[in-house]
Amino acid sequence: MSVAVLGSGAFGTALAVSLAGKGPVTLWARSAEQAELMQTGRENALRLPGVRLPDSLRVTADIADVQACETVLLAVPMQKLRQALADHTEALGRHVLVACCKGIELKTGMGPVSIISEVLPDARPALLTGPSFAQDIARGLPTALTLACAEADLSAALQEELTTANLRLYRTTDTIGAELGGALKNVMAIACGAVIGAGLGESARAALMTRGYAEMQRMALALGAQAETLAGLSGFGDLALTCTSELSRNYRLGLALGRGESFDPSITVEGVATAHAVNAKALELGLDMPITRCVTGLVDHSLTLNDAMAQLLARPLKEE
Ligand SMILES: NC(=O)c1ccc[n+]([C@@H]2O[C@H](COP(=O)([O-])OP(=O)(O)OC[C@H]3O[C@@H](n4cnc5c(N)ncnc54)[C@H](O)[C@@H]3O)[C@@H](O)[C@H]2O)c1
Ligand SMILES: O=P(O)(O)OC[C@H](O)CO
């Protein structure tokens, strides 16, 4: 099968670099100028500087080059996914589409797999998610991810196709669990960054990660996910990575909030919109998600960190 990656940000470029070790890969950029710069300069200087693009990776801005491939990885920010699909219904409409974004759509509360199914009902959707920094993948460092696809046969075929020398894929048919694990861990990473940024200590971070995981499970199980999925790479694995590393943009936003510093608004931080989307969904379902609620207050500056801490500590005592 032939593979294209739509979206030439840090993650799309890193995945394309890794896949190019197996055979030809097409990387599609929105901007023709950007595509030309990458194709000739053999580097994504904007989003992934310092990584040489292999010769087997072709950068293009022509969507016909993507249409010619059977499998398309969608590496655009979550809140842009619907538009990216709508822009290319003809080119993508019957393809195997593997969403690589993490989050919940703000205006609908939907995850990436559901959005693909709604916008392009004849496409075959899947999701690639799990603990992975673009910089690590692009440098060839070992990484394990979850490939989620409701069609078991397709899931197995994609697992073979997208496994590379440094990317080891595990598969599941639980797309809801995989979507929610990847989305919710970003909200918890903002909370953990804020706690560390404010000097509240490693013990507080461990408490947030653990109780945050309980919130992740609460919502995922209410929406029909399997508990094992949350315990896997796409849930626990990604929570562990993102809540502890300054390579994470969500964690770094939290650090800035905790320190009272500003943060570059052009950086992709999926947890902000997702916190609001998840908070709305929790209210709708009657679920108790206090950490998520505090993160929404922190990111829209309606709640101070001291008030968030006080709210969390003052909650009624309960069984674990
Ligand atoms: N960077 C990582 O380490 C990493 C790791 C795992 C998952 N992800 C996920 O991958 C997704 C993308 O993140 P990223 O790091 O590549 O972000 P990024 O900010 O580096 O790049 C986003 C890219 O999407 C493109 N884009 C935006 N809107 C578009 C549209 N409508 N059509 C086509 N292209 C569009 C932008 O031009 C840009 O090239 C996010 O959901 C993120 O959570 C990122
Ligand atoms: O930089 P972040 O916070 O978007 O995290 C990147 C990946 O999702 C980590 O698995």
What CA–CA distances, in Å, run from 59 to 32, 54, 62? 10, 11, 9
- Shared domain for 147 and 229, answered yes or no, is no
Question: Does any domain span residue 90?
Answer: yes
- Shared domain for 8 and 146, answered yes or no, is yes
Question: Does any domain span residue 320?
Answer: no
pLDDT-based confidence at residue 55 (cuts at 50, 70, 90): very high
Average pLDDT over residues 226-247: 98
**107 included as an active-site residue:** no
Backbone angles phi, psi at 316, to 5 degrees: -55, 145
- Shared domain for 53 and 113, answered yes or no, is yes
Query: What was the pLDDT predicted at 59?
Result: 98
Average pLDDT over residues 62-89: 98
The domain boundary, picked from 173, 192, 223, lies at 173
Question: Does any domain span residue 178?
Answer: no
Question: Does any domain span residue 275?
Answer: yes
Check whether 208 has a pLDDT greater than 80: yes
Instruction: Name beta bridge partners: 126.
Output: 98
* Beta carbons of 77 and 107 less than 8 angstroms apart: no
Number of separate domains in the chain: 2
pLDDT-based confidence at residue 1 (cuts at 50, 70, 90): confident
Question: Does any domain span residue 151?
Answer: yes
| pLDDT, tens only, 158-186 | 999 999 999 999 999 999 999 999 999 99
Question: Does any domain span residue 50?
Answer: yes
| pLDDT, tens only, 121-159 | 999 999 999 999 999 999 999 999 999 999 999 999 999
Interhelix angle 202-222/290-299, rounded to 10 degrees, is 110
- Shared domain for 204 and 306, answered yes or no, is yes
Question: Does any domain span residue 319?
Answer: no
Question: Does any domain span residue 310?
Answer: yes
- Shared domain for 48 and 141, answered yes or no, is yes
- Shared domain for 157 and 8, answered yes or no, is yes
Interatomic CA distance for residues 164 and 19, integer angstroms: 6
Check whether 70 has a pLDDT greater than 90: yes
CA-closest residue to ligand 1 atom 17: 9
Instruction: State yes or no: 185 annotated in a binding site.
Output: yes
- Shared domain for 168 and 192, answered yes or no, is no
The domain boundary, picked from 128, 151, 173, lies at 173
Ligand 2 pocket (Cβ < 6 Å) reads 102, 131-133, 186, 189, 238, 241-242, 248-250, 270
Which CATH number fits the domain that encloses residue 128? 3.40.50.720
Decide: pTM greater than 0.80: yes
* Beta carbons of 270 and 248 less than 8 angstroms apart: no
CA of 248 to the centre of ligand 2 (A): 5
Average pLDDT over residues 275-300: 98
The domain boundary, picked from 173, 200, 232, lies at 173
- Shared domain for 291 and 156, answered yes or no, is no
Interatomic CA distance for residues 136 and 166, integer angstroms: 10
The CA angle 149-112-121, to the nearest 5 degrees, is 75
Query: What was the pLDDT predicted at 218?
Result: 98
Q: CB atoms < 10 A from the CB of 319, how many?
A: 3
- Shared domain for 162 and 189, answered yes or no, is no
Which CATH number fits the domain that encloses residue 191? 1.10.1040.10
What domain range includes position 262?
Answer: 184-314
- Shared domain for 93 and 204, answered yes or no, is no
In terms of pLDDT, which residue wins out, 235 or 1? 235
- Shared domain for 293 and 220, answered yes or no, is yes
CA of 314 to the centre of ligand 2 (A): 31
Interatomic CA distance for residues 282 and 91, integer angstroms: 36
Q: Are strands 71-74 and 167-172 parallel, antiparallel or unpaired?
A: unpaired
- Shared domain for 73 and 195, answered yes or no, is no
130 CA: nearest ligand 2 atom: 10
Q: CB atoms < 10 A from the CB of 33, how many?
A: 9
Q: What percent of the chain has pLDDT over 70?
A: 100
Ligand 1 pocket (Cβ < 6 Å) reads 7-12, 30, 47, 75-78, 80, 83-84, 100-103, 132-134, 268, 270
